[in-house]
Structure 1
Amino acid sequence: MNKHLIRLPLFSLSIMLFGCSNADSVNIANRTGLPCNDKPNCVSTIDERAEYSLDAFNLSEAGLDSWPQIEQVALALPGARLGERAERYIRVECVSSVFKFVDDFEVHQNGDMLEVRSESRTGYSDFGVNRERAEAFRQQLLEAKLIAP
């Protein structure tokens, strides 16, 4: 009985402390120019390692001056909410529907290319979710004729 009386307050304290942590209040600098770390929960157009690499996003003639439309495509991704916006840069926080995990989806226009990076904030593997998100973004940009095939 005494063991349970000790465990209950410890468990309650743990829950309260965990509940006070806020993954939403993260200030993340533009990381589109950085390769992914070594966890399989990130993809990037900058990273040259096959398991982390995304094919280039080459802007079409129409896409060169269409940054507002590119932003709108990013913000239309499932679970998307604006995290940060700067000149020709956007960070979208994509929240999973079930467990509410937050992934950072970043896009930066660098000349005639888009640098794209999608990474999970927590966990080890993302089971391919970030790659699927980046490829869905690519498909939407292709359909809008904002990037070249």
Structure 2
Amino acid sequence: MVFTGKRPNNLGVNDGKLAPCPNSPNCVCSQSTDAVHKITPLSFRSTPDQAIANLKKIIQSLPRTKIITENQDYLYAEFKSALLGFVDDVEFYLDRNANVIQVRSASRLGQSDLGVNRQRIETIREKLK
């Protein structure tokens, strides 16, 4: 059985912001202010365009991942869990003013993600270095 859920309709960048996390703990966002959801944005030493290209390569190298939307400052990918096919929606927004990549990773279904969303972003952060 596959637990894909429905693709959220609040994704994307709105006035330089990614959607806020829901109250459930199965989401992290670099633009959140509360401790449960907050995660540091991704930093890079290359040009912004090179950073987003590197990020795309990293995402494509990860298993069960599909890029849904991309443009020069934004990437949206779906990550599917190996076991039951749960889908997480993961967004990356290249904030050229702050020279960082803002991130949001959220499970579509359930409450707890056992830290999977946070761990995914940290894995991507390591690969981006």
Normalized against structure 1, the TM-score is what?
A: 0.72
In structure 2, give the amino acid aligned to 1:115. Answer: Q
Q: 2:102 aligns with which of 105, 115, 118?
A: 115
Give, in whole Å, the separation in 2 of the partners of 1:89 and 1:57. Answer: 13
Quote how far apart the aligned CAs of 1:22 are.
Answer: 6.7
In structure 2, give the amino acid aligned to 1:124. Answer: Q
Runs of 5+ unmatched residues, structure 1: 1-17, 143-149
Give, in whole Å, the separation in 1 of the partners of 2:38 and 2:122. Answer: 12
In structure 2, give the amino acid aligned to 1:130. Answer: N
C-alpha contact 2:5 2:109 (8 A) present in aligned 1? no
In structure 2, give the amino acid aligned to 1:92. Answer: A
Misfit runs of 4+, over 3 Å: 21-24
Give, in whole Å, the separation in 1 of the partners of 2:95 and 2:78. Answer: 21
Return the structure number with greater relative CO, CA threshold 8 A, min gap 6. Answer: 2
Runs of 5+ unmatched residues, structure 2: none
Give, in whole Å, the separation in 1 of the partners of 2:66 and 2:27. Answer: 19
1:1-149 equivalence runs, <5 A: 23=5, 26=7, 28=9, 29-30=11-12, 33-60=18-45, 62-66=46-50, 67-111=52-96, 112-142=99-129
Which moves more between the two structures, 102-111 or 49-58? Answer: 49-58
1:69-113 CA-to-partner distances (Å, cap 9, x unmatched) read 221112222321112223321111000011000001111101111
> Is the helix fraction higher in 1 or 2?
1
Quote how far apart the aligned CAs of 1:27 are.
Answer: 6.1
**Which of structures 1 and 2 has the bigger CA Rg?**
1
C-alpha contact 2:4 2:86 (8 A) present in aligned 1? no
Quote how far apart the aligned CAs of 1:30 are.
Answer: 0.7
C-alpha contact 1:41 1:125 (8 A) present in aligned 2? yes
- Aligned-residue sequence identity (percent) comes to 28
Give, in whole Å, the separation in 2 of the partners of 1:73 and 1:135. Answer: 12
